[in-house]
Amino acid sequence: MTNTVTEQLTAAGRAIEHDSFAVIEAEVGPHAYSAEQWPLVRRMIHANADFEFNGLTAFHPQAMQAGLARILAGGTPVVADVEMICVGLSKPRLAHFGITTHQFISDPDVIDAARCDNTTRAVQAMRKAHRLGLLDGAIVGIGNAPTALIEVVRLIQHEGLRPALVVGMPVGFVSAAESKDLLMTLTDVPWVAIRGRKGGSTLVVAAIHALLGLAEAHQRNAA
């Protein structure tokens, strides 16, 4: 049996996706990821046709377990640094697990606070999410703004924030690699990250979709 909620909606679409995965499997060959981690890495390669994510993708030891548990619990918020992640995530797949998405990057109060404090909108957006109580127990997805990821790490280290999982994949040339290096020093909060400059919102979406697919398979097998 296959997934019904987290797969493509048409037989033709499913066939293309499955054929694409088969090509990736054949070209990658042996790899160092666990059976639990590999579907996430494979979907990221599928999203960008970039085989370097086989190797660049790094996991906290509890990342997959924590992400799946939180999705299966239902009602989990996904807090993103940019709207692109929220738009890219499949609404039917999110609805199946009662997941809500949140982003505040363009809120007027966030913009005003960034100007007043001489920080970025991304920093203030994460602070707003924290004030609203959305980050604790959430899946946090950061694909665009290194400053958002740095702020999340600061909140974890200094203010006791405890998200369920941080998917930290900001892309860029200023502080992107450094922000992910910082995330990967955390031991008490699970994370998935991409080493170096590569990343992007598309990859965060792919990673979360992979988790949703694994969660549906878990539901099906448990039924």
Q: Which residues are catalytic?
A: 46
Look-up of token digits 């640094």? 81
Strand pairing class (139-142; 165-168): parallel
- The amino acid occupying position 210 is A
- How far is C-alpha 190 from the geometric centre of its chain's CA atoms? 12
Distance CA 179, CA 183 (A): 6
Neighbours of 57 (CB within 10 A): 22
- The amino acid occupying position 174 is V
Q: What does residue 142 show for φ and ψ, rounded to 5 degrees? A: -125, 115
Look-up of token digits 């109580």? 133
Q: Helix, strand or coil for residue 166?
A: strand
- How far is C-alpha 86 from the geometric centre of its chain's CA atoms? 11
Query: Nearest to residue 142, comparing CAs of 210, 186, 203, 93?
Result: 203
